[in-house]
Amino acid sequence: MMTAVPLALVLLPLIPAIISFALPERLAGWRNAANLFVALIKVLIVADLLRQVRSGVDLEWRYTILPGHDFLLRVDTLALLFVSLSVFLWLVTTIYAIGYFGRGPNLARFFGFFNLCVLAATGVALSGTAVTFFLFYELLTLATWPLVVHNGDEKSLRAGRIYLAYTLAGSAAFLVGILWLKTLVGSIEFTAPPDLSAVPPLTLTLIFVLCVGGLGVKAALVPFHGWLPAAMAAPAPVSALLHAVAVVKAGAFGIVRMIYDVYGIGTVAELGLGPPLAALASFTILYGSLRAVMQTEIKKRLAYSTVSQVSYIVLGASLVGPFAVIGGLVHLVHQGIMKITLFLCAGALSNRLGIKAVADLDGAGRRMPVTMAAFSIGALGMIGVPPVAGFISKWYLGIGGLQSDASWVVAVLAGSSLLNAAYFLPMLYRAWLLPPPEQAAFRELGTASDRMLVLPAVVTAAASLAAGVFASSSFSPLTWAKLIAEMGYLK
Amino acid sequence: MSPLDLLVAAPLAFMVASLVVGRGGRWLILAASPAMLALSAWLVALPPDAAHLVGDWELPLGILLRADGVARLLVPATSLCFVAVGLYAWHEFSPKSGRETARAHTFWPLLYLMWGGSNAGYLTTDLFNLYVTIEMVSLAAVAMAAMGSLAAGLQYFLIALVGSLAYLLGVALLAAHYDTVDATLLAIHARPDLPTLLAITVMTAGLLVKTALFPLHGWLPPAHAAAPAPASALLSAVVVKLGFVIILRLWFEAFAEVVRPAAMHLLGGMGALAILYGSIQAIRQERLKSLVAYSTVAQLGYLFLAFPLISNAPNPAEPWAAVLVHAVAHMLAKAAMFLAAGLMLKAVAGERISDLAGLARAMPLSVTAFALAAISLTGLPPSGGFTAKFLLLHAAIEQGSVVYAAVLVIGGLLGAVYLFRPLSVACSGSAAPVVKAEAPLRVAAPLALAALAVALGFAGMMLIELSSLSAPPAAAGPLPAEPGR
């Protein structure tokens, strides 16, 4: 059904973006209100869309930008998985950002570009053709750059340079890949996968390498992961939403689209592309965890943990078995809510107590108990302790590995979990069991601003817990991932 | 009267008027802007094959003005540039004292001379008439360049003179050989014999000098970087495009049957080198305006890289549209970038990129204009620059020309390297430098141009439709061998 709803959903953040750019700093209250209001509206729209799509409604908006290249926005189950994650986390992070920054310089710019990022992320999710996907994927790069260099110091500027170098090169490879494929098989629409039978296997393999390699930059696949730890120079809300969720997810999401909606499971299996990609993803999982153990700075440790965790999604997609598909897809959501919890807490700790290094965490649990409680739930989830959401992901991935005759996946998962424990448990130990250094009493939830800083993490931590405990209920991410798999890929 | 006549006559009338009113010449832009924009809109809306014989003399004696796709895209784009630059210069070249007064007197007649000349150049099909238009534009351009640096102006003058003479020599050869110098008639009669090939060669060489295609670009960076911002904007955005359009007409319209594929690859190769060389030089610059000037050297390369892609394409309409869209997008974005750079450099009273530190906070609108222009120049979506480079890359991949595709990709990445550097500096620092507040009306000119360059990205179908009104280049036969295959 042709409708402007998908377009409206994508463009909605333009309103707060323009308001944020235009309003002077003394009207910051109005700016915050506009941001929250639109974020809330978006959540409501997406909630309604979830209901509609579940009942089989098909919504799309099409516009021809160039001959043979349609701009297509389409609401399907996979798109909604990503969209609902991003609108929920956008709302949470907006509240957090207001509490985090209070009144500081450059906030108009921050909120303006923050909204443009959400626009791009929603566009990435709803894209119905490869070219549309590319447009939003590139817009995401552009809109995140000003946020990476937000602080304006030498470290941020350097991070900005590294970020652009990696991501623009990646996008260029991806663009060459999709244009090449387009000249061979015509328009690439995700709902109507192109007929690849006439293309020589070697060409198909090369195009796959170009596309997945290009997308792998944002998904932080080793060896293209270097930008992610560097980009931690950005303020915490940026690290939280963009680097833990929007940007890396856009890459992982693109790889999922490539495997399932462009090439199709059959072709990927025929070409033998799954096992090498699964091997690369597994290597990334272990390498990221190993590097995380070696970090002494909290945000850096979390960044390497992201490198590792995002590859679970790629691993699930590349194993192409039913349970692995579900595990990878559900991890798209689970990793998002758990990782954002960790980043929101890390930002709160550094913002209020000045804690940046792991060694400073001593006694943090006594000084900011609510924050550290949320952090602990996120960390346990990452390790895969039931009943937190991370356990569900790993369970499905493990069974998926066995189904696809790749039992080594179980070993990778076990190894990664051990490493996760090795870098998260010492942090929890320091925070809860060691005495704090002598310092003045600290009230965690004293002011409204404090509450805006701390409570978002509590919400996401609760969500991580709920996604695990109520995994079999009809509105859990797991149920939705099963729905996607049933409707799309396992016919 | 037809709009085709008026588009040439009106600027010349404004030139005379500005000479007459002298000190108050700047006020005329307020009348010229709406008039010329209306005429441009009329031109675009004319019926598809609109043409007009000046004074109703038949060819080959008369002069044919024609509203083809090239004219319909480039005349409105140039007019937009002139309007924006004029409104910007209205403030800059107001009569104050001493030297400023001299500039205020001379700038306006030159602007209108250049405006009339380039419009005539896009509309006419007569090669001798084109010579006259080139001379009008060159004369104005040299004088504007001399406003910044006399030495650079003189060098530019000599180069322009050589270029014009070479072109005139070619026209004379053709006139003697065919008894006509009208491009539409030559297209029918042209034969691949020695005098014709010689004429094409000298004419193309003369025009390449004026268009500053690598390795004939040496005069451009000093002249464009030294001139005052409005003059730089016109030189980089408008002036160099005329030579390119004439080459395009010669190669694909007048002599489409005569030009050999190898020659196409020669131009394409020079274009590819221009992209790489210009980008690398731009990366090495320390002064902002030099960076923008070298970016022009690089961006002009794309115009010529397209030649072999057009001539080899199974469906030439797309690369043909791409090259015209690139010309338009570069015009708008480059003019915007020079004007924004002028505002920023004037505010900090410096000329180096490092002087821009913290300006994103102090001058957000100017930096936004610069950033939007940079998006289009780099070829990032959505923008006119992206549409053009996307179509070119598509054509290159379709034809399997690995070399051209690689240059397009690398050129885009290098573009990001040199254009994000000033932006990165502008975002640096935590304290905003103290500068005079931005005058919203002055910054409106670059902002509007840059926003248009970006907005072109949404109008791809319309641009392709307009460009298809030009005689579409002949489809190539079997693909010739090409480098890198």
pLDDT 10s digits, A175-212? 999 999 999 988 888 888 888 888 899 999 999 999 99
In the three-class reduction of DSSP (H, G, I as helix; E, B as strand; rest coil), residue A66 is classed as strand
pTM for the whole structure? 0.92
Is the CB of residue A199 less than 8 Å away from at least one CB of chain B? Answer: no
Q: Which helix (H) or strand (E) holds A87?
A: helix A77-101
Q: Which amino acid is it at B417?
A: V
Could you tell me what percent of chain B has a pLDDT over 90?
54
Interface contact A67-B430, CB threshold 8 A: no
Residue A383 lies in a domain: yes
Q: Which of residues 341-380 of B touch A (CB under 8 A)?
A: 358, 360-361, 364, 375, 380
Task: Give the phi and the psi of residue B318 in degrees, each rounded to 5.
Answer: -75, -50
Task: Give the residue with greater pLDDT, A187 vs B341.
Answer: B341
pLDDT the model gives residue B266: 93
Q: Does B96 have pLDDT greater than 70? A: no
pLDDT 10s digits, B240-260? 999 999 999 899 888 888 888
Residue B415 and residue B349 in contact, taking contact as beta carbons nearer than 8 Å: no
CA distance B466 to chain A (A): 13
Taking the C-alpha atoms of A98, A99, A103 and A107 in order, what is their torsion angle to the nearest 10 degrees?
A: -30
Which tokens hold the place of A45? 């729209």
pLDDT the model gives residue B191: 86
User: Per-domain residue ranges for chain B?
Assistant: 269-475
Residue A26 lies in a domain: no
pLDDT the model gives residue B483: 40
pLDDT 10s digits, B417-446? 999 999 999 988 767 777 777 777 789 999
Match 């250094």 to its residue by tokens.
A437
Burial of B221 (0-12, 13-18, 19+ CB in 10 A): buried
Task: Give the residue with greater pLDDT, B450 vs A1.
Answer: B450
Is the CB of residue A138 less than 8 Å away from at least one CB of chain B? Answer: yes
C-alpha dist (Å) from residue A229 to A165, A304, B155, B203, B412: 14, 7, 51, 56, 26
Residue A260 lies in a domain: no
Q: Does B195 have pLDDT greater than 70? A: yes
**Which chain B residue is nearest to residue A158, measuring alpha carbons?**
B424
Which tokens hold the place of A118? 């959400």
Residue A265 lies in a domain: no
pLDDT the model gives residue B482: 38
Q: Which amino acid is it at B444?
A: A
Give me the mean pLDDT over the B316-330 stretch.
93
pLDDT band for position B308 (cuts 50, 70, 90): very high
Q: B376, B397, B410: best mutation site toward chain A, by most A Cβ within 10 Å? A: B397
Is the CB of residue B12 less than 8 Å away from at least one CB of chain A? Answer: no
Low-confidence ranges of chain A (pLDDT < 70): 439-441, 488-491
CB-facing half-sphere around the CA of A291: CA atoms within 13 A:
21
Residue A351 lies in a domain: yes
Q: What is the ipTM of this complex?
A: 0.90
- Going by the DSSP 8-state scheme, the letter that residue A405 receives in this structure is T
Which of A142, A152, A169 lies at the smallest CB-CB distance from B428?
Answer: A152
Q: Which helix (H) or strand (E) holds A70?
A: strand A69-75
CA distance A109 to chain B (A): 9
Is the CB of residue A105 less than 8 Å away from at least one CB of chain B? Answer: yes
CA distance B18 to chain A (A): 39
Nearest Cα to B44, choosing from B473, B471, B467? B467
- Mean residue pLDDT of chain B comes to 87
CB-facing half-sphere around the CA of A81: CA atoms within 13 A:
28
Q: Which of residues 328-347 of A touch B (CB under 8 A)?
A: none
Residues of A in contact with B458 (CB under 8 A): 65
pLDDT the model gives residue A484: 85
pLDDT the model gives residue B85: 93
SS3 sequence, chain B? CCHHHHHHHHHHHHHHHHHHHHHHHHHHHHHHHHHHHHHHHHHHHCCCCCEEEECCCCCCCCEEEECCHHHHHHHHHHHHHHHHHHHHHHHHCCCCCHHHHHHHHHHHHHHHHHHHHHHHHHHECEHHHHHHHHHHHHHHHHHHHHHHCHHHHHHHHHHHHHHHHHHHHHHHHHHHHHCCCEHHHHHHHCCCCHHHHHHHHHHHHHHHHHHCCCCCCCCHHHHHHHCCHHHHHHHHHHHHHHHHHHHHHHHHHHCCCCCCHHHHHHHHHHHHHHHHHHHHHHHHCCEHHHHHHHHHHHHHHHHHHHHHHHHHCCCCHHHHHHHHHHHHHHHHHHHHHHHHHHHHHHHHCCCEHHHHCCHHHHCHHHHHHHHHHHHHHHCCCCCHHHHHHHHHHHHHHHCCCHHHHHHHHHHHHHHHHHHHHHHHHHCCCCCCCCCCCCCHHHHHHHHHHHHHHHHHHHCHHHHHHHHCCCCCCCCCCCCCCCCCC
Residue B149 and residue B223 in contact, taking contact as beta carbons nearer than 8 Å: yes
pLDDT the model gives residue A365: 87
Residue A427 lies in a domain: yes
pLDDT the model gives residue B477: 38
pLDDT the model gives residue B478: 38
Which tokens hold the place of A434? 């060691």
pLDDT band for position B100 (cuts 50, 70, 90): low
Q: Does B59 have pLDDT greater than 70? A: no
Q: Which helix (H) or strand (E) holds A176?
A: helix A154-185
Which tokens hold the place of B433? 């430098």
Is the CB of residue B464 less than 8 Å away from at least one CB of chain A? Answer: yes
CA distance A454 to chain B (A): 27
- Look up the domain containing A460 and give its range: 286-295+322-491
Which of A64, A139, A182 lies at the smallest CB-CB distance from B381?
Answer: A139
Q: Which amino acid is it at B409?
A: V
Number of domains present in the structure of chain A: 1
pLDDT the model gives residue B47: 85
What Rg do the C-alpha atoms of chain B give, in angstroms? 21
Residues 6+ apart with CB under 8 A from A420: A289, A305, A308, A382, A383, A384
Which tokens hold the place of A58? 């098909």
